[in-house]
């Protein structure tokens, strides 16, 4: 387990990372904050190659994808990329992806299947001989598991990463529309649904694109973030979903206010909590970094 008491010999290689190729805009942060957040994410690396979701936790598939993506936004690669790949491949069980090599997919199978496929893509493992022959079956499993909005949202992201299409598109779009009809004023839901529709190949008319952009931007709260509902406080997960859709629509939110909200979620350890005052986690830190990069 990686923690402040971890052996120095383990921590040093993690912090001496190679520069990562930059394909996305980097988040605009002061150099000292970049270094601090890099150290925060690096310290969550586990000996077997995965990353823990938070300090004191065990390595998980979801945290590993978030940590690798977060580190790359900061301009670095994990010190042992082969170990990261091995960890992710080890999460692929006969029943699909689990959150760790010693687990089963369980109730989270739909989300884990999407995350696992994205992780294989991000780590360049999907074309390796032992994995490539399994990809068609794993994407077929993903399609069979995506039966409600949240799993469809993640499946659409995995299909986009893998540059694949699905015959389930019409049925999935119907389920997305049904979810939207159940909560027409939910900006978080609208953001996730808009991104999923676009990833699934929906072509928006200019007037629909304009209307969606207006609705999403109008839901930005006074503190600069977005929330699960008008009654809830802003949180980074909601900001991530809305900001993703806004970017895909070719627009930008009130950047100054959004930056201020994200800054309020930053903790002394260099990580970010899902909301102000919440403990740091890999998922919230990645969401903070990717949203900041979209504002560049």
Query: How do residues 154-209 score in pLDDT, each as one tens digit?
Result: 999 999 999 999 999 999 999 999 999 999 889 999 999 999 999 999 999 999 99
The single residue listed with the structure tokens 């159940």 is 182
The answer to whether residues 35 and 160 belong to one domain is: yes
Write the burial class of residue 230 (CB in 10 Å: 0-12 exposed, 13-18 middle, 19+ buried).
exposed
- Asked whether residue 179 is assigned to any structural domain, the reply reads no
Residue 186 lies in a domain: no
Range 245-262 average pLDDT? 97
* Alpha-carbon separation of residue 253 from 151, 165, 199, 237, 244 (angstroms): 27, 30, 21, 16, 11
**Coil, strand or helix at 266:** strand
Mean pLDDT over 80-100 rounds to: 96
**pLDDT tens digits, one per residue of 23-70:** 467 899 999 999 999 999 999 999 989 999 999 999 999 999 999 999
Residue 9 lies in a domain: no
Rounded distance, CA 205 to CA 216, Å? 17
Is 212 part of any domain?
yes
Q: Which residues of 115-153 are buried (b: 16+ CB within 10 A; e: fewer)?
A: bbbbbbbbbebbeeeebeeebeebbebbbebbeebebbb
Q: Which two tokens stand for residue 248?
A: 């895909």
Residue 24: the pLDDT is 65
158, part of any domain: yes
pLDDT category of residue 293 using cuts at 50, 70 and 90: very high
Indicate whether 135 and 44 sit together in one domain.
yes
Domain that holds residue 159: 29-166
pLDDT at 19 over 60: no
Q: What is the mean pLDDT of residues 135-164?
A: 96
Q: Looking up tokens 């201020």, which residue turns up? A: 260
- CATH assignment of the domain containing 124: 1.50.10.20
Name residues whose C-beta falls within 8 Å of residue 18's C-beta, 6 or more positions apart in sequence.
76, 77, 79
Residue 21, pLDDT > 50, answer no
Q: 96 forms bridges with which residues in the sheet?
A: 93
Give me 86's structure tokens.
């091995």
Q: What pTM did the predictor assign?
A: 0.90
Q: Is residue 7 part of a domain?
A: no
Counted domains in the chain: 2
Beta-ladder partners of 19: 76
Longest CA–CA span in the chain (Å) reads 58
- Position 142 in a domain: yes
Choose one of 105, 132, 166: the last residue of a domain: 166
Indicate whether 278 and 162 sit together in one domain.
Answer: no
Determine how β-strand 96-97 pairs with β-strand 280-281.
unpaired
pLDDT score at 26: 87
Would you say residue 20 has pLDDT above 80? Answer: no
Name 51's bridge partners: 45, 60
Tell me what pLDDT residue 22 has.
41
């Amino acid at each position: 387990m990686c923690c402040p008491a971890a052996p120095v010999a383990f921590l040093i290689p993690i912090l001496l990372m190679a520069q990562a190729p930059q394909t996305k805009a980097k988040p605009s942060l002061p150099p000292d904050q970049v270094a601090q957040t890099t150290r925060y994410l690096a310290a969550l690396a586990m000996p077997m190659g995965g990353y823990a979701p938070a300090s004191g936790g065990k390595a998980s598939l979801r945290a590993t994808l978030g940590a690798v993506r977060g580190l790359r936004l900061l301009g670095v690669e994990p010190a042992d990329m082969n170990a990261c790949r091995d960890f992710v491949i080890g999460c692929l069980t006969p029943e699909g992806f689990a959150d760790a090599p010693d687990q089963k997919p369980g109730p989270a199978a739909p989300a884990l299947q999407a995350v696992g496929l994205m992780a294989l893509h991000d780590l360049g493992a999907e074309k390796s001989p032992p994995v490539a022959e399994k990809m068609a079956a794993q994407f077929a499993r993903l399609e069979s598991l995506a039966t409600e909005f949240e799993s469809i949202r993640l499946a659409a992201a995995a299909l986009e990463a893998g540059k694949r299409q699905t015959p389930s598109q019409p049925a999935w779009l119907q389920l997305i529309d049904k979810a939207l009809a159940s909560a027409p004023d939910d900006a978080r839901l609208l953001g996730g649904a808009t991104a999923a529709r676009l990833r699934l190949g929906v072509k928006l008319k200019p007037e629909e694109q304009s209307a969606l952009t207006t609705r999403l931007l109008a839901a930005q709260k006074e503190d600069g973030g977005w929330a699960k509902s008008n009654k809830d406080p802003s949180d980074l997960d909601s900001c991530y979903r809305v900001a993703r859709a806004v970017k895909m629509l070719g627009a930008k939110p009130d950047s100054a206010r959004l930056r201020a909200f994200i800054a309020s979620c930053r903790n002394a350890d260099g990580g970010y909590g899902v909301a102000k005052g919440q403990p740091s986690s890999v998922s919230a830190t990645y969401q903070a970094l990717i949203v900041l990069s979209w504002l560049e």
